[in-house]
Amino acid sequence: MTGSQLSHVAMEMGIILLSNGAETYRVEESMQRICFALGAREAEIFVVPSTIIITITMPNEIPLTLTRRIHSRKTDLHKVADMNHLSRQICYESLSYDELISEIDRINAIPSYSYLLHLLAFAFIAQMFTLFFGGNFLDSCLGFIIGLGIKLQMDVMGRLETNSFFINIVGGIIASTVAVIAAGLGLTANMNTIIIGSIMTLVPGLVITNSIRDIIAGDYLSGLTKGVEALLIGSAIATGVAVPLSLLRPFWGG
Amino acid sequence: MMNYILPCLYAFGASFAFAIVFNIQRNKLLLSALGGMLGQLAFVIFLNVLSNQAASYMLATIAIALYAEVMARLTKSPTTIYLAVALIPLVPGGGIYYTMLYFINGDIELGASTGIETLLISGALAVGIIMVSSTVNLVRKVMLKRKARMGKKYHYGQKN
C-alpha cells in the first residue's frame, strides 16, 4: 500500500470516528493502529474536535501530511463501535486497499434509526423524566408534547445551521412556555417538574462523558473544549427557561 | 418501596430512549439502558445508607462506570456507549433549574447555595468516572506488561 493510499484510508476512518461522537484518544489510537499495521514507519496524528492532522512516513518515502476540517457533527455510536472494531481487526488480518475502502463505505452507510423513532424517543425521554422527577400521568403527557416540540424545533433550526447555543435557548423557551401556560390554565400543579423533565432531553450527556474521558487521557485541549461546550449548553438551557418564567410571571402567579 | 422502584423504571425508559437517540446498535440497546437503571438504583441505596448527596452521586457513578467497563469488554465495543447513556439520569437537571429559578425570583442566597450544590454533584460525577477509568487503565497496563514478560520467558524456553 502506498503512502497516499494509507493516509487516505486512515483519514477516512478518523473522520467517521470523530464526526460521530468518538473520544479524541480513540480517534488518534485507531488511526495510529491502522498506520503501523499497514506498514508506516512513522505516523504522527493530531486530533482536536474540529480538525484532524496526520503525517505519515512510509519506508523510503518522503513524509506526507493531510489535514481535514470537520464541519458537522452528529451522534451515531453504532458507526463508532463498528469502526473501532475494524481498526482492531486490521491488526490481526491483512486487508487490501479496496477491501478496506469498501468496509469503510459500508460502515459510513449504516442507517441510523428512522426519523419517526427519533421523534418518539425524544418525546419519551421528556415523558419518562417528568415521571422520574415526581410528576403524575397528565404531567408526563405534557412532557411528551414538549419533547415532540423540542425535537421538531431542533431539526428545523439545525437545518438552517443555527448555532447550538441558540437552539438550546429556544428549546428551553419552548419547554417553559408550554409548562407555564399549562400551569396558568390549571392543568397541572407541577410546573417545575414538567420543565425539569423536558429540559433533560437537551442535556449533552455524550459531550460531558467525552470531555471527562478526554481529560483523563491527557487531551486537555479537546477535553476543555468539550467541557466549555457542555457548560455553554447548560447555561443556554437555563437562559431559555428563564425567559418565559420571567415574562409570563403574572400568568403563573409566582 | 414503590417510591424506590418506580424511579429506577423511569430511568430505564429514559436511558433506553436516549440509546435510540445516540443510534446505538439494536442488540446493545437493552444493556446500555440497564446501566441507567443501575445508576439510579445504586444512588437510592447509597443515599439511604450514607444520607450524603454528593458521596452517593459519586458512588453511583463509580457503579455505572464499572458496569460500562465490564460490558465494553464483554461486548467488545467502546465504553462510551454504556457510560454516556447511563450517566444522563444522574445529571443534576433539577439543580440547574432551581438555581436559575431562585436567581430570577431574587433569592440570591438560596440560588448560590443550590448552584454550589449542583457544581459539587457535577464534580462528583466527574471524579467517579475518573477513578474507575484510571484504575482500569492501570490494571490493563500491569496485565499487558505481565503478559509480555511471560511471553518472553516462554520464547526463551523454546529457544533452549
Interatomic CA distance for residues B102 and B111, integer angstroms: 5
Q: Given an 8 Å threshold on Cβ–Cβ distance, is A78 in contact with B25?
A: yes
Interatomic CA distance for residues A33 and A129, integer angstroms: 41
Instruction: Choose one of A78, A108, A138: the last residue of a domain.
Output: A108
Tell me the residues of B at the A interface, defined by beta carbons under 8 Å apart. 6-7, 10-11, 13-14, 17-18, 20-25, 28, 76-81, 83-85, 87-89, 91, 93-94, 96-101, 103-105, 125-126, 129-130, 133-134
Instruction: Choose one of A49, A82, A108: the last residue of a domain.
Output: A108
Total domain count, chain A? 2
Judging contacts by C-beta atoms under 8 Å, the chain A residues touching residue B96 are 199, 234, 237-238
Instruction: Choose one of A108, A130, A156: the last residue of a domain.
Output: A108
Q: Which residue from B minimizes the CA distance to A140?
A: B10
The reply to whether A49 and A74 lie within a common domain is: yes
Q: Is the pLDDT of residue B105 over 90?
A: no
pLDDT at residue B160, as a whole number: 38
Query: In the β-sheet with A64-69, what is the strand arrangement from edge to edge?
Result: A42-48, A51-57, A64-69
Q: Is the pLDDT of residue B148 over 90?
A: no
Cβ neighbours around A201 below 10 Å, total: 29
Residue B159's pLDDT band, with cuts at 50, 70 and 90, is very low
The reply to whether A218 and A102 lie within a common domain is: no
Q: Is the pLDDT of residue B156 over 50?
A: no
pLDDT at residue B71, as a whole number: 93
Scan for cell 443515599, then name that residue: B47
The reply to whether A32 and A151 lie within a common domain is: no
Q: For strand A51-57 and strand A42-48, is the pairing parallel, antiparallel, or unpaired?
A: antiparallel
pLDDT at residue B157, as a whole number: 44
Which residues of chain A form beta strands (DSSP E)? Answer: 42-48, 51-57, 64-69
Q: What DSSP designation does A75 have?
A: -
Give backbone dihedrals phi and psi of A48, rounded to 5 degrees, phi first. -125, 165
Q: Is the pLDDT of residue B155 over 60?
A: no
- In 3D space, the residue among A135, A184, A167 whose CA is nearest the CA of residue A236 turns out to be A167
pLDDT at residue B152, as a whole number: 61
Element at B117 (helix H, strand E): helix B108-159
The reply to whether A149 and A241 lie within a common domain is: yes
What is the end-to-end Cα distance of chain B in Å, rounded? 67
The reply to whether A24 and A121 lie within a common domain is: no
Residue B51's pLDDT band, with cuts at 50, 70 and 90, is confident
The reply to whether A246 and A142 lie within a common domain is: yes
pLDDT at residue B158, as a whole number: 43
The reply to whether A59 and A132 lie within a common domain is: no
The reply to whether A125 and A86 lie within a common domain is: no
Cell numbers for B43, please give them. 444512588
Q: Given an 8 Å threshold on Cβ–Cβ distance, is B21 in contact with A213?
A: no
- In 3D space, the residue among A60, A70, A56, A68 whose CA is nearest the CA of residue A7 turns out to be A56
CA-to-CA separations, B101 to B95, B97, B123, in angstroms, rounded: 10, 6, 22
Ranges of residues in chain A whose predicted pLDDT is under 50: none
Element at A165 (helix H, strand E): helix A164-184
Q: Is the pLDDT of residue B151 over 70?
A: no
Q: Given an 8 Å threshold on Cβ–Cβ distance, is B134 in contact with A125?
A: no
The reply to whether A57 and A149 lie within a common domain is: no
The reply to whether A104 and A120 lie within a common domain is: no
Interatomic CA distance for residues B62 and B124, integer angstroms: 10
pLDDT digits (tens, 9 = 90+) for A130-185: 999 988 999 999 999 999 999 999 999 989 988 889 999 999 999 999 999 888 88
Q: Mean pLDDT throughout B101-130?
A: 92
The reply to whether A174 and A226 lie within a common domain is: yes
Q: Which domain holds residue A146?
A: 115-252
pLDDT at residue A250, as a whole number: 72
Q: Please state the ipTM of this predicted complex.
A: 0.89
pLDDT at residue A65, as a whole number: 93
Decide if A65 contacts A55 (C-beta within 8 A): yes
